[in-house]
Amino acid sequence: MPNGIMMNGNSGGYTGYRGGAPLLHQMQSSAIHQQARILRNFVPVPLPFYDWHKTVLEPMELPPIMSGVKTPCKQSFTFSLPREYFVNWSLNSPLPRYEIQLRFFQVPENYASQELPDDFPLNCVARIEEQHVQLPALIPTNKPNVEPKRPSRPVDITQYCINVRDPSRPMRLMVEWTGDKRAWAVAIYLVYRVTSEILRDRATGAAKSAASGDNTNNDRPSHRQEEHVTRDLIRARLGGGNDDDIAMAQLKISLLCPVRVT
């Protein structure tokens, strides 16, 4: 059964003005007594390259600081690893494969089970059994006074869970972040990571036809075409020679995969 206790990150030593001590004590007390709770009817955004198989740690709330004052916070959770899926696991295991996936979310007020994308709390740090988990790097920005953000993506923590000294006991996840009025959530899932070829076969119906033994392609739409056909079509549309072409004064191209976001 997952559990969590929230603690203020201050060790108790306060070197500021004496007049601020009662306020600090009040902030610490309010943070310490907020217990983590399971978020019922929680719906994360489905990820196309990951098939959900099992919830390892139910979505747990990282409670807000009611005063709104930014405060260092900690939360600890315990979970059990389904080791039967990782008997022959190695760091270089080919895809498709099972993975343990850590995900963070920002939970809006009056949450009503809408799908939530991955989002990391401010100054988020995660540890598995004292092992520091590498989170996605902060997105560089030149804008002043902008809160640093990380890419919206899950975190593969399989290697941190496998490489533990005592695999027989429950594992511990420690999360640190800077709390404010926003509520967050953390969850751990067992997923099956698939390849782009598997997704393509699902989109075209090839996987279903192969499973049923149907070799007819007449009723299955074709979603593929040669690479040069797509390239030539883009060049023609950007050429400006026809009335239905695309007229542009500026072109920005993203190097991120729109599906995998990498």
What percent of the chain shows pLDDT beyond 70?
A: 72
Question: Residue 171 corresponds to which tokens in the numbers above?
Answer: 């594992």
Predicted local distance difference test score (pLDDT) of residue 33: 41
User: Comparing 124 with 22, which gets the higher pLDDT?
Assistant: 124
CB contact at 8 A, 44 and 185: no
Alpha helices in the chain (DSSP H): 21-32, 158-162, 196-204, 206-212, 227-239
pLDDT at 158 over 60: yes
Question: Residue 39 corresponds to which tokens in the numbers above?
Answer: 């978020």
CB contact at 8 A, 187 and 42: yes
pLDDT at 241 over 60: yes
pLDDT at 5 over 60: no
pLDDT at 65 over 90: yes
pLDDT tens, 26-59? 333 334 445 679 999 999 999 999 999 999 999 9
110's torsion region: left (phi>0), alpha (psi -120 to 50) or beta?
left
Average pLDDT over residues 56-79: 95
Domains, the chain, in order of start with CATH, read: 42-204 (2.60.120.780)
Please tell me whether the overall predicted TM-score, pTM, comes out greater than 0.75 for this model: no
Predicted local distance difference test score (pLDDT) of residue 55: 97
pLDDT tens, 216-237? 555 555 556 778 888 888 787 7
The kind and range of the H/E element at 259 are none
Q: Is the dihedral of CA 112, 115, 121, 122 positive or negative?
A: negative
